[in-house]
């Protein structure tokens, strides 16, 4: 084999892998320390709570609308008789 061959050496590959591992470790530490994960969890909980509140409000409005329609039907039935 020729010594002047172009290509990646094992040493360069190992150094690249070590640098990538260090970068990944720093990124993971920064991500966990920044509170971003806690903010995402809180956002999910707040969204679920808001969804439940909206569901209750819509159910109350539906009940109220049904009562109004029943009253209108009762009034119309009373005037038709």
For residues 3 and 7, what is the distance between their CA atoms, to the nearest angstrom? 11
> Hunting for tokens 């709570």 — which residue is that?
49
Question: What pLDDT does residue 81 have?
Answer: 55
At how many degrees (to 10) do helices 36-80 and 10-33 cross?
A: 50
Supply 70's token pair: 């029943």
For residues 64 and 50, what is the distance between their CA atoms, to the nearest angstrom? 21
Q: Which residues contact 31 (CB under 8 A, 6 or more apart)?
A: 37
Q: pTM of the entire structure?
A: 0.53
Question: What pLDDT does residue 43 have?
Answer: 95
User: Across the 81 residues of the chain, what is the mean pLDDT of every consecutive 10-residue run?
Assistant: 69 94 93 83 96 97 96 84 55
Torsion of the alpha carbons at 58, 60, 65 and 66, rounded to the nearest 10: 110
Question: What pLDDT does residue 26 have?
Answer: 93
Domain boundaries, the chain: 49-81
């Amino acid at each position: 084999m020729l010594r002047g061959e172009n290509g990646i050496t094992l040493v360069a590959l190992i150094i690249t892998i070590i640098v990538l591992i260090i970068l990944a470790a720093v990124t993971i530490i920064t991500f966990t320390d920044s509170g971003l994960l806690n903010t995402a969890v809180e956002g999910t909980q707040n969204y679920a709570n808001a969804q439940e509140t909206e569901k209750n409000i819509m159910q109350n409005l539906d009940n109220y609308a049904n009562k109004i329609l029943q009253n209108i039907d009762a009034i119309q039935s009373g005037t038709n008789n």
